[in-house]
Amino acid sequence: MTEIATSIVASTAVRPRIVIADKNPVVRAGLSDFLARDGRFEVFAVVEDGASFIALCLDQPVDIGVIGWSLQDMTGGDVMATLKRRLSPTRVIVYTGEQGPTVLRQAVRDGAWGFISKSDDPVVLLDTIATVSRGRLCVPYVDLKSINADPLDLLTTRERELLGALANGWTNLQISARIGISQNTVKYHLKNLYDKLGVKNRAMAVALFMTSGRDSR
């Protein structure tokens, strides 16, 4: 086959159709331009929320979704759960700035085909999309035993004590006075607690604690 003929075949090959979903307009614009310039993929649509992304995947043939974990109206986990219930064939790649292994474990548990950090080299995203488009998973190493583990089991005794205090409505000042540690130490423990649970604040931590059925007394 001549070089010209090879070029024609490559240009007419069916490219994976991609939808991007991210709450940050700069990220949306940057991803759209970056993927379009690569030439191997068709950027079909760019949206800012999970509901719009889901609607597109259910209404149009979408091969791959590149989504943030924290969208304006839901998490990436919520998106994947809905697509799974609706039997959508769209393969989801989570592209996130969330730190720590908790989100990775949750994404794999929820059915992500790919997972990449926004701090990684952009070329890694291209490789991830190419791999997923061939029907192969592309995620960083994750201990399979930890996927279904209860995140509350990762907490230290002190962190579990503080989580129980949060569930009982205690303020940082009350926790400091009743447990006998400084407020700075309380903040330090709470930050570690939030990181391990994959949450951003005490309300989310308490909600996770209450749904776990653990005794807060």
- Tell me, what CATH number does 77's domain have? 3.40.50.2300
Residue 211 has pLDDT above 50, yes or no: yes
Q: Tens of pLDDT along 82-111?
A: 999 999 999 999 999 876 677 888 888 889
Question: Does residue 94 share a domain with residue 33?
Answer: yes
Instruction: Give how many domains the chain has, as a whole number.
Output: 2
Q: What is the DSSP string of 82-111?
A: HHHHTT--PEEEEEE---SHHHHHHHHHHT
CATH number at 170 reads 1.10.10.10
State the residue for tokens 């029907």.
Answer: 135
Question: Does residue 155 share a domain with residue 83?
Answer: no
Question: Does residue 160 share a domain with residue 120?
Answer: no
* pLDDT (0 to 100) of residue 3: 46
Question: Does residue 114 share a domain with residue 39?
Answer: yes
Question: Does residue 92 share a domain with residue 44?
Answer: yes
Question: Does residue 184 share a domain with residue 125?
Answer: no
Question: Does residue 7 share a domain with residue 89?
Answer: yes
186 SS3 class: helix
d(CA 87, CA 139): 22
Question: Does residue 125 share a domain with residue 105?
Answer: yes
- Distances in whole angstroms, Cα of residue 17 to Cα of each of 44, 89, 215: 6, 12, 48
Asked if 22 and 31 touch (Cβ cutoff 8 Å), the reply is: yes
Q: Is residue 46 part of a domain?
A: yes
Question: Does residue 161 share a domain with residue 188?
Answer: yes
Q: Tens of pLDDT along 123-150?
A: 999 999 999 999 999 988 654 555 556 6
Q: Tens of pLDDT along 179-202?
A: 889 999 999 989 888 877 777 788
Question: Does residue 139 share a domain with residue 181?
Answer: no
* pLDDT (0 to 100) of residue 197: 79
Question: Does residue 121 share a domain with residue 55?
Answer: yes
Question: Does residue 134 share a domain with residue 50?
Answer: yes
Can you give the residue range of the structural domain that contains 69? 3-146
